[in-house]
Structure 1
């Protein structure tokens, strides 16, 4: 539903959460809420960041849209956020970069969202010095919201709001150099549903599996085990509504995952805003938040959730698999990513970037 995707344009905060002082190890202690505190800097006050991909503790990419009608931009850091480079592709005025998926500090794909030809994908292999447009949507009613790549970076998917009553899925098998629309025979009827392009993580991949969330008429989680050809849909446990449903997904492995969401019409109400799975298929309502959840990530043995809508936002952590959540900050963000080396980054609006 285009109206849902278009309404998510409120100013955001951008924050990068970098390495904790505890050495990274399989049995590293969980971070205590008292240890978590945001420190903020401004990268570009005209940009509202919603796309984020962290490669490691030093390298991250963020993408956004102009708050004043100017060009959308892409920024990259290679020094843990001390400095950021504008590595944007040309011809970006009027575009809205909502997702970025990076293979390393050189190779990344960026998704622009919107109806018709506003939905595009750009790819760089030289750190943003040059870009190639690898996909431009030609279906007037399609509206692509988010994308992700399978391990190895060759195969990937992007998902659009329903076309003729079924979610539309785009696929690549060559690392994002080219994309093809998949047949929709294996997609359940999705009439009245939509994706939320709140964080770039409405679709996510773990192992050989892919999931995406929906809202609107129903709040469901769609699951594919065959590279996007067929999907099963399960109730998410997060309430549905015109501006409510699943906003973001994260997986520790193909069986253990968390879905977060809420209602942009009532952003201070985080009741039933999280759901968890232990088998990758069935979902159960988990602990309540005190703010909506737009994105989530696993940090060692803990789970972090962030969200913001207007003046209402917050950041929360769970150390018990999502059963309970502790709000450790009133500062809210829209997108979040944690890396294997124990660093976490979050990004949002008003051009702000920070560290923990």
Structure 2
């Protein structure tokens, strides 16, 4: 169909306007306000916010709690006479799940009526000298996954399909092989990322790689990354995905926390390949990274021992917002998150300056 020249000009102007609207623009945050909400003699590496005022946590010394405004509701969980150490937590509408590290690894389901815990039951246990579980996430109200360090040449992967009442281990022959010295890090309950039916699991040590399942853990592939590796405490410590294609990984060298080389990368093809970002620039080692909600994958925040860092460009460039160190961060909305660290949980409010 022939288009008159006047209409053609309008047509192209519309196309240009549409393309500019689709182009991602850098997101801006100027500062962060940090308000302590809980202080205790605990190492807190696992958080699960419910809303702007309530957050579940799991910690060492058997401690599990719900911070409800300024009221901490705490419980101590023992296995036999031992205090368990928790670094994994996940929630559904009716329950909270906490999983301990080391042996025995014990997974508890805590009933929750929206206000109070109602009951607690053991739903999975695994023992052995090499057992060590690192993190846990749920795809939906029925299906969840937990990841542990490798035994017998593959990562430990357990899955529930019935709301957490029962958990089943995936056989090694159905999982990617990992090399001796390759493992995962229980640094912040964030070495698993979930998006729709996808799961991504990150490793470190001998290799820094990304395992991916596109069908809720039924089948798996594994991909190389350029993140630093080779030593016991080098590798990927944290992963997050904005959608099925765009994701980010951070980590580095836990023994050289200022090193900022080969410790940050992004993917645009679902994890099949990764490109280094801000290489040789801050931040150095980081233990938890999250996309900020409602920022089209441009707003990213990471935390670690050297402070809180922000990127408004999807990770390409970073700026330090605070020197205060944390282990883990979880967002509630695009301006509010909870962060946990050594002896503390804080509420973080991210702010733009009014022009």
Q: TM-score, normalised by structure 2?
A: 0.82
1:235 counterpart = 2:221: no
Greater displacement, 273-282 / 316-325 = 273-282
Choose the corresponding residue for 1:47, options 42, 47, 50. Answer: 42
Q: CA RMSD in A?
A: 2.1
- Give how far 1:264 is off: 0.8
1:279 aligns with 2:279: no
Pick one of 313, 316, 340 that aligns with 1:323: 316
Paired residues, what number?
313
Q: Deviations over 1:225-261 (max 9, x none)?
A: 1222322111222101210101111112222211110
The whole-number CA distance in structure 2 between the counterparts of 1:258 and 1:87 is: 35
CA, structure 1 residues 243+298, in 2 after alignment: closer, same or farther (shift >3 Å)? Answer: same
- The reply on whether 1:102 has 2:88 as its aligned counterpart is no
CA contact (8 A) 2:337 2:347 kept: no
Shift of the alpha carbon at 1:48?
A: 0.7
Counterparts of 1:332 and 1:291, CA distance in 2:
12
Residue matched to 1:265? 255
| Counterpart-to-counterpart distance in 2, 1:254 and 1:88 | 38
Partners of 1:212 and 1:125 in 2: CA distance: 27
Q: Structure 1: which 5+ runs fail to align? A: 1-26, 66-70
TM-score (normalizing by structure 1): 0.82
Q: Is the 8 A contact 2:65 2:73 kept in 1?
A: yes
Alpha-carbon shift at residue 186 of structure 1 (Å):
2.8
1:125 equivalent to 2:111? Answer yes
How far apart, in 2, do the equivalents of 1:78 and 1:342 lie? 19
Q: Per-residue displacement from partner, 1:81-112 (whole Å, max 9, x unpaired)? A: x22211444548431110111224x5210111
Distance 1:60 1:315, change over 3 A: same
Query: Which structure shows the higher strand fraction?
Result: 2
In the other structure, the counterpart of 2:328 is 335
CA distance in 1, matches of 2:96, 2:316: 35
SS in 1 for 2:193: strand
1:304·1:318 contact (CA, 8 Å) conserved in 2? yes
For the residues of structure 1 that align with 2:51 and 2:267, how far apart are their CA atoms?
A: 27
Which of the residues 298, 302, 306 maps onto 1:305? 302
Aligned equivalents of 2:76, 2:27: Cα separation in 1 = 37
Partner of 1:13: none
The within-5 A match list for 1:7-156 is 30-32=27-29, 34-44=30-40, 46-65=41-60, 71-79=61-69, 82-91=70-79, 93-104=82-93, 106-114=94-102, 116-117=103-104, 119-126=105-112, 127-150=116-139, 152-156=140-144
- Pair 1:331–1:251, CA change in 2 (3 A): same
Q: Distance in 2 between matches of 1:205 and 1:86?
A: 28
1:339, CA displacement in angstroms? 2.5
1:214 aligns with 2:203: yes
After superposition, the C-alpha distances for 1:35-87 in whole angstroms (9 at most, x for unaligned) are 2232335421x11100111122222111111xxxxx321121233xx222114
Rg bigger for which structure? 2
